[in-house]
């Protein structure tokens, strides 16, 4: 019996993606300058990145990176447990723990790796991980790779979470949720979920990639905004590639649990430490995020301005009060058409399609930054309205052509 050919399988999958308007294409940014990116020789105003506080090019962050690289080199040279744990890593972990008011922090190369580490190190075959249906892919993959039972509840539904936890075996249980959902922009009902976790004796873990730096007192994230303690949320994820404008991540929380991760988590043990220079850049970003409250205040003002004007213009928004402002389109081809129209007008906004979002929920994921001006937001809304009208006109013409006799 002949096995299926890999080239044929890949080609069939490519054709299916093309037919469904779901091909993914990388764009090359040749230069970044504040909120602007140069793409294919054109300067575009970027409304699809995650640089919420505008720190990725901040002079203090860049200077810290360059200065540390000149002294300590470009690489991490080894894993943290062999020879890669530098004094800059140690300082960053302590600063994070102080900022987020937890006993300890542990660095990882990315948020994806950190989520794999947490779930795999704490759960096994007889355990269960209960998750929000819209959780980030890394949390879902982490549960699958851990071999535990993965159960998912309807989005932001604490009653659904408790139903899933009630019917599990006698093994350990984890309740895992995003703090801020990356594609919808809404905040999880953390206080209600924390109560569910306590009643069901489950460990609550919050992936706060899009909340750290943006929400809560001093930017400590969605957990702090919900006024939850470390006893209620023993572990959470803080990533550096969003509001902090850097790269990497940390799991922060309970001393005993963090120590367990440091000694047993495969994504921590078997990977090279981040370059010390990157840790220095992140440390500089943390210090700015803690102290420059105006950046968060400006984000709130820009978010309100965008929502007020977009809703008044009849655009369909999801109920988000964060800098993530999805404009719901529905149809994949229409989302691509609107993104192309926006680019022609000078705005970079990515079309998000399934499987990243549910079927029929394609959207333009607008993200705001402290680098944007009010005029930028007003211009974007005007361009979105024109793009919508153009896409609707194209759809009407296509429908007429479909039913016109040939």
Could you read off the pLDDT of 351-378 as tens digits, one per residue?
999 998 999 999 999 999 999 999 999 9
Could you read off the pLDDT of 263-296 as tens digits, one per residue?
999 999 999 999 999 999 999 999 999 999 999 9
Q: State yes or no: 367 annotated in a binding site.
A: no
| Domain segments of the chain as ranges | 23-53+293-403, 59-291
Please state which of the four CATH numbers 3.40.50.300, 3.20.20.70, 3.40.640.10, 3.40.50.10470 is assigned to the domain occupying 59-291: 3.40.640.10
> Could you tell me if 342 and 383 are in contact, meaning their C-beta atoms sit under 8 angstroms apart?
yes
Q: State yes or no: 149 annotated in a binding site.
A: no
Q: State yes or no: 239 annotated in a binding site.
A: yes
Burial 194-229 (b: 16+ CB within 10 A, else e): bebbeebebbbbbbbbbbbbbbbeebbbbbbbbebe
Q: State yes or no: 112 annotated in a binding site.
A: yes
The residues, any chain, with a CB within 8 Å of residue 227's CB and separated by 6 or more, are 191
Beta bridge partner(s), residue 264: none
Lowest-confidence segment of 166-170, 220-224, 232-236, 284-288 by average pLDDT? 166-170
Could you read off the pLDDT of 57-96 as tens digits, one per residue?
999 999 999 999 999 999 999 999 999 999 999 999 999 9
- In this chain, the answer to whether the domains covering 23-53+293-403 and 59-291 adopt an identical fold is no
CATH number of 23-53+293-403: 3.90.1150.10
Q: State yes or no: 210 annotated in a binding site.
A: yes
Q: State yes or no: 58 annotated in a binding site.
A: no
Q: State yes or no: 350 annotated in a binding site.
A: no
- Cα-based torsion angle of the residue sequence 123, 124, 130, 136 in order, rounded to the nearest 10 degrees: 70
Looking at residue 397, its pLDDT comes to 75
Better-predicted residue by pLDDT, 286 or 399? 286
């Amino acid at each position: 019996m002949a096995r299926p050919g890999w080239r044929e399988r890949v080609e069939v999958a490519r054709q299916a993606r093309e037919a469904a308007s779901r091909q993914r294409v990388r764009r090359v940014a040749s230069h970044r300058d504040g909120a602007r990116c140069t793409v294919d020789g054109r300067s575009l105003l970027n409304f699809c990145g995650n640089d919420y506080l505008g720190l990725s090019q901040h002079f203090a962050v860049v200077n810290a990176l360059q200065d540390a690289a000149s002294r300590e080199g470009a690489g991490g040279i080894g894993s943290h447990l062999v020879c890669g744990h530098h004094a800059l890593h140690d300082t960053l972990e302590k600063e994070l723990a102080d900022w987020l008011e937890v006993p300890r922090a542990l660095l990882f190369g990315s948020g994806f790796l950190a989520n794999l580490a947490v779930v795999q190190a704490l759960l096994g075959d007889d355990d269960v991980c209960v998750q929000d249906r819209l959780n980030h892919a890394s949390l879902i993959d982490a549960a699958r790779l851990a071999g535990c039972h993965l159960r998912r509840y309807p989005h932001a539904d604490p009653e659904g979470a408790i139903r899933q936890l009630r019917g599990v075996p006698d093994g350990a249980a984890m309740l895992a949720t995003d703090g801020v959902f990356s594609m919808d922009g809404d905040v999880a009902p953390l206080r209600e979920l924390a109560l569910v976790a306590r009643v069901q004796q489950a460990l609550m873990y919050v992936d706060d990639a899009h909340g750290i730096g943006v929400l809560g007192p001093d930017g400590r994230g969605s957990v702090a905004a919900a006024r939850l303690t470390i006893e209620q949320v023993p572990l959470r994820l803080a990533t550096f590639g969003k509001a902090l404008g850097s790269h990497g991540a940390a799991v922060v929380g309970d001393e005993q649990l963090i120590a367990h991760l440091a000694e047993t988590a495969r994504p921590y043990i078997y990977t090279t430490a981040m370059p010390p220079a990157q840790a220095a850049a992140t440390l500089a970003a943390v210090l700015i995020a803690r102290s420059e409250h105006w950046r968060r205040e400006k984000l709130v003002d820009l978010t309100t301005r965008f929502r007020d004007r977009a809703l008044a213009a009849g655009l369909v928004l999801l109920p988000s009060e964060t800098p993530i402002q999805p404009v719901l389109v529905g149809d994949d081809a229409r989302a691509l058409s609107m993104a192309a129209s926006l680019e022609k007008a000078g705005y970079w906004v990515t079309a998000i399609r399934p499987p990243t979002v549910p079927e029929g929920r394609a959207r333009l994921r607008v993200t705001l930054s402290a680098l944007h001006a009010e005029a930028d937001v007003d211009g974007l809304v005007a361009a979105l309205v024109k793009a919508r009208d153009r896409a609707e006109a194209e759809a009407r013409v296509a429908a007429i052509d479909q039913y016109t006799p040939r």
